[in-house]
Chain A
Amino acid sequence: MIDRLLARLPHGSRAFAWTGILIGLLAFWVALPPLKIREPVVPAAIGLIAIALGVWAITQGVKRLGWGAIVIGLLGIGLGVLATRSSVAHLDQVVVWSALTAAMLRYATPLAFAAMGGIFSERSGVVNIGLEGMMLSGAFFGILGADKLGSWPLGLLCAAAAGAGFALIHAFFAIHLRADQIVGGTAINFLALGLTGYLFIDVYGGEGTPPDISDIPDVHLSFLESWYFIGPVLGQLNLMIWLAFLTIVATWLVLFKTPIGLRIRAVGEHPRAADTVGISVYKTRYVAVMLSGILAALGGAYLSIGFVNSFNQNMTVGRGFIALAAVIFGNWRPWGAAAAVFLFGFSSALAQRLPAYSESAAVLFQALPYVLTLIAVAGVIGRSIPPASVGRPYQKQ
């Protein structure tokens, strides 16, 4: 087991490039709490090591990673020197690693659910830009169910049903009617926005959702409390955050370790071949799309009854699209998408704390996930290869 893991680690020049990337990050890190080195020379020197490693890797033919190390090294120098110039009080206020990590998990959770859903759908060959709408429907019907039926598990159930319902519409139009999947997804987004907004006003009116709605509980792990760093991060997380971890692992297991996953991937890569060996393309795609709707809706329900405990019109504000970005960023793989989700979650968590420095710069920071994704799809960081038949309707013969 350990041998196999070691064998997957990068070798030779690639290892040097990766080391360069890590050292580049270190250049920034030393200037932050807890070390808080105040000499600008230190991050500059460490960053130069990273750049040197990157240059060496490039001369050895490892171009992309080498450039990565150089860029990270430059960023590490720039940000590290900046950090040494800023006041210690500010640094202590903004960079609290445990709080940042906990916030990262909170922001990443809705994205993680939706991104795993997106992977199921797109791996089966159906583009799902309706994730945003399915998430929004989950947020609304989750809180509606929890309010009217009186308990959060029923709220989650309602959310899942709503997500599945919207996904069914999308699936029917995309699979049976062979409509353009992107147009269909756009329609789902409009429909969900209109329907949830309409029902929200109709049911709750101007006052908004009541404050005493049954919400998803936190999981208290009191034995962790005294542990350094882990205690404050993991000691009191919402149940849905743990479920999000579980969902990521389960997505990987289902997609890559079970026959069902093999079928889903086959249908997304080469539906004709899958059909020939007796896999029902339509059925598999229906299941995958519905699953994606359920997962996206659960992510939305976490937003409304796990995170903020209220609902507002269009409260997802583009989170479904960030999840979609994470799917692409992660190259349609569960672990890759999970990494992207945590990166995006971290940038949101940081954006919440940056106003200590500058209100307006913190706003600009919100654009970061989108810029990163744009760079990723532009082919700068490796090429993103979608499933071969994604977006193509299949016609049975």
Chain B
Amino acid sequence: MSEPGAPTPPEGGGKVENPRTGGDYAPSVARRYALAQRAGGIVVPLLTVILAFLIGGVVVFATTGSNPISTYKAIFEGAGLNWFVEIGSYELRLPFTDIHVPFPWNVDDIESTAAFNLQQTLINFVPLVLTGLAVGFAFRCGLFNIGGQGQYLAGAVIAVWVGSELPGLPGLVHILAAVVAGALVGALWAGIAGFLKAKVGTHEVISTIMLNWIAIWVGVFLFGLGGPLQNDTQPFVPVSNDILDESKLGILWGDPVLQALHVGFFVALAALVVYWIALNRTTLGYEVRAVGYSPEAARYGGISVARNYFLAMAISGLFAGLAGAIDIVGWAYRINTNDVMISSQIAFVGIAVALLGRNKAIGIGLSALLFASLVTGTSTRNLDPEIFRPELASNLTLLIQGLVVLFVGADVLILSLLGLRRRRRRAAAEAVSE
């Protein structure tokens, strides 16, 4: 993957002003180049999303005859985004303090459908940000980590194990132990692929696909009937033990009896900042990006490509493993074999998140919010079944996700279309001037 679209090189460098059309808009080639790159950076993802939603709408209309707009509105409400519409004068207590500040939205409302739905969206936001960062970090080093699912699972499995064992540990230590262990095992799992890439040049896509399926079957083995980590008290249910109460994360917003937004939300936000700093303000990030741009040039510049391949994969796995561990200590509290096969696929959405977010921290944050809304808004629990069948809608999400990945992967298409128009206009202008 190239950085923002490998835009078409600026044509007509050192361009002389056209006497007929007057001065040029962009003052210098470099400025125009930067503009094109920025435009490609924002415009292409936006166009991608709009196009994907349009096609999704056509599918909805063609198959069910229902109005796509009302369907999307139901998904919007299923994601709880309408909560933001009701603005008033409320107060927000700053976390970990007793200070209250004015806030336009009512956070004390934890029971209304909109608030509950939004809590679910934000719960999904956390693993999507983290798995998105996982894919993004590897991408910046020129690697495609398609093994987020396996790393997420590795993190979740270890977090369940650490969280349900070791009674008597103080709460914070226990949580930290579970989360750190999960992240490290995620890093280890991805590190295998990084090591193979660095040592023998094994393509990371192949090795991470294999590691995904190994993780899945090992997970089914561990928690399946007769498995070593299967529930101690329910011998006929393929589920793990629950994690102990003191290893559960604190609640931020919502009713803990249902599923409430947990403190892990801040971990996701912090991870976005850490990602940005690590990539843009550290030697490691510089080297990783240098290898991503051109391994040959990086090697010539004295950077160890192999070391960076390994580190980038391990850090990538760290994020994905963190996602799995946070999900366990934050709201899932246990894992069953069905989760191992199905729920862990949320890590695949991380690919779409990273691609749409152009592997940048802020982009990943925004696209994680989009996909969290889509995933939550189309779930059986949140979507209004009278407007659109949730079983259909969750597949619609997959479809939109696929279209987004397809189009983002082909930003050359959109950029070349833009370039083509520019070239045509220039050709026409030259024809006039002759």
Residues from 316 to 352 in B contacting A, C-beta threshold 8 Å:
341, 348, 351-352
- 1/0 per residue A367-390: CB within 8 Å of B? 100110110011100010010000
Nearest B residue to A322 via CB reads: B213
A268 to chain B, nearest CB (A): 15
Residues from 22 to 48 in B contacting A, C-beta threshold 8 Å:
none
Interface of A is mostly: helix
For residue B114, CB closer than 8 A to chain A, the reply is: no
Is the CB–CB distance between A187 and B405 below 8 Å? yes
Is the CB–CB distance between B406 and A191 below 8 Å? yes
Is the CB–CB distance between A378 and B202 below 8 Å? yes
Specify which of A173, A180, A197, A358 is in contact with B398 (CB 8 Å cutoff). A197
For residue A47, CB closer than 8 A to chain B, the reply is: no
Nearest A residue to B351 via CB reads: A186
For residue A168, CB closer than 8 A to chain B, the reply is: no
Residues of B within 8 A of A340 (CB): none
A184 to chain B, nearest CB (A): 5
Is the CB–CB distance between B226 and A359 below 8 Å? yes
Nearest A residue to B342 via CB reads: A314
Is the CB–CB distance between A195 and B207 below 8 Å? no
For residue A52, CB closer than 8 A to chain B, the reply is: no
A211 to chain B, nearest CB (A): 21
Residues of A within 8 A of B226 (CB): 358-360
Most buried by B among A178, A190, A379: A190
Residues of A within 8 A of B144 (CB): 180, 182-183
Specify which of A184, A193, A197, A370 is in contact with B409 (CB 8 Å cutoff). A184
Is the CB–CB distance between A363 and B217 below 8 Å? yes
B73 to chain A, nearest CB (A): 19
Q: How far, in whole Å, are A199 and B63 apart by their CA atoms in the complex? A: 8
* CB within 8 Å for A202 and B406 given contacts A183-B355, A367-B218: no
Residues from 358 to 386 in B contacting A, C-beta threshold 8 Å:
none
Is the CB–CB distance between A197 and B395 below 8 Å? yes
Q: How far, in whole Å, are A180 and B400 apart by their CA atoms in the complex? A: 19
Residues of B within 8 A of A313 (CB): 395
Q: How far, in whole Å, are A191 and B413 apart by their CA atoms in the complex? A: 19
Is the CB–CB distance between A173 and B214 below 8 Å? no
Residues of B within 8 A of A206 (CB): 391
Is the CB–CB distance between A183 and B405 below 8 Å? yes
* CB within 8 Å for A198 and B405 given contacts A193-B398, A321-B209, A377-B196: no
Residues of B within 8 A of A190 (CB): 348, 352, 398-399, 401-402, 405
Residues of A within 8 A of B216 (CB): 367
Is the CB–CB distance between B396 and A194 below 8 Å? yes
A-B interface pairs (CB < 8 A), number: 153
Nearest A residue to B146 via CB reads: A186
Is the CB–CB distance between B214 and A370 below 8 Å? yes
Nearest B residue to A176 via CB reads: B413
Residues of B within 8 A of A233 (CB): none
For residue A337, CB closer than 8 A to chain B, the reply is: no
How many residues of chain B are within 8 Å of chain A by beta carbon?
Answer: 53
* CB within 8 Å for A169 and B406 given contacts A177-B413, A202-B63: yes
A369 to chain B, nearest CB (A): 8
Q: How far, in whole Å, are A201 and B394 apart by their CA atoms in the complex? A: 11
Q: How far, in whole Å, are A201 and B63 apart by their CA atoms in the complex? A: 11
Residues of A within 8 A of B352 (CB): 190
Residues of B within 8 A of A359 (CB): 224-226
Is the CB–CB distance between B217 and A366 below 8 Å? yes
B59 to chain A, nearest CB (A): 7
For residue B211, CB closer than 8 A to chain A, the reply is: yes
B235 to chain A, nearest CB (A): 12
Residues of B within 8 A of A373 (CB): 206, 210
For residue B171, CB closer than 8 A to chain A, the reply is: no
For residue A139, CB closer than 8 A to chain B, the reply is: no
Is the CB–CB distance between A201 and B392 below 8 Å? yes
Specify which of A129, A187, A321 is in contact with B406 (CB 8 Å cutoff). A187
Q: How far, in whole Å, are A328 and B213 apart by their CA atoms in the complex? A: 16
For residue B81, CB closer than 8 A to chain A, the reply is: no
* CB within 8 Å for A360 and B221 given contacts A187-B403, A187-B405, A325-B210: yes
Q: How far, in whole Å, are A179 and B64 apart by their CA atoms in the complex? A: 33
Residues of B within 8 A of A383 (CB): 200
Q: How far, in whole Å, are A192 and B402 apart by their CA atoms in the complex? A: 8
Is the CB–CB distance between A187 and B402 below 8 Å? yes
Nearest A residue to B201 via CB reads: A379
- 1/0 per residue A328-358: CB within 8 Å of B? 1000000000000000000000000000001
Residues of B within 8 A of A377 (CB): 196, 202-203, 206-207, 210
For residue A162, CB closer than 8 A to chain B, the reply is: no
Residues from 171 to 229 in A contacting B, C-beta threshold 8 Å:
173, 177-180, 182-184, 186-195, 197-199, 201-202, 206
Is the CB–CB distance between A182 and B224 below 8 Å? no
A266 to chain B, nearest CB (A): 22
For residue A364, CB closer than 8 A to chain B, the reply is: yes
Q: How far, in whole Å, are A29 and B412 apart by their CA atoms in the complex? A: 57
For residue B427, CB closer than 8 A to chain A, the reply is: no
Specify which of A324, A360, A386 is in contact with B225 (CB 8 Å cutoff). A360
Specify which of A129, A178, A318, A361 is in contact with B412 (CB 8 Å cutoff). A178
Is the CB–CB distance between B202 and A182 below 8 Å? no
Specify which of A173, A198, A361, A370 is in contact with B410 (CB 8 Å cutoff). A173
* CB within 8 Å for A363 and B395 given contacts A178-B412, A191-B406: no
* CB within 8 Å for A187 and B209 given contacts A360-B224, A363-B217, A378-B200: no
Specify which of B211, B341, B391, B405 is in contact with A201 (CB 8 Å cutoff). B391
A361 to chain B, nearest CB (A): 8
Residues of B within 8 A of A184 (CB): 406, 409-410
- 1/0 per residue B398-434: CB within 8 Å of A? 1111110110111011000000000000000000000
Residues from 132 to 184 in A contacting B, C-beta threshold 8 Å:
169, 173, 177-180, 182-184
* CB within 8 Å for A179 and B409 given contacts A363-B221, A373-B210: yes
Is the CB–CB distance between B64 and A177 below 8 Å? no
B92 to chain A, nearest CB (A): 38
Is the CB–CB distance between A379 and B202 below 8 Å? yes
For residue B176, CB closer than 8 A to chain A, the reply is: no
Is the CB–CB distance between A191 and B403 below 8 Å? yes
Q: How far, in whole Å, are A363 and B238 apart by their CA atoms in the complex? A: 13
Residues of B within 8 A of A202 (CB): 63-64, 392
B338 to chain A, nearest CB (A): 13
Q: How far, in whole Å, are A202 and B65 apart by their CA atoms in the complex? A: 12
* CB within 8 Å for A201 and B221 given contacts A179-B412, A187-B405: no
- 1/0 per residue B215-257: CB within 8 Å of A? 0111011001111100000000000000000000000000000
A315 to chain B, nearest CB (A): 13
Given A179-B412, A191-B406, A378-B196; 18 other pairs, CB 8 A cutoff: A180-B1, A180-B409, A184-B410, A190-B398, A190-B402, A191-B398, A193-B395, A194-B397, A197-B394, A201-B391, A359-B226, A361-B221, A364-B217, A370-B211, A371-B210, A373-B206, A377-B206, A383-B200
Sample of 12 A–B contacts (CB below 8 Å): A177-B412, A179-B409, A188-B402, A190-B352, A199-B63, A202-B64, A360-B221, A363-B221, A364-B217, A364-B221, A370-B214, A377-B206
**Smallest CB-CB A-B distances: 6 pairs:** A194-B398, A190-B402, A194-B399, A191-B402, A183-B409, A187-B406
Q: Which residues of A contact B (CB under 8 A)?
A: 129, 169, 173, 177-180, 182-184, 186-195, 197-199, 201-202, 206, 313, 317-318, 321, 324-325, 328, 358-361, 363-364, 366-367, 370-371, 373-374, 377-379, 383, 386
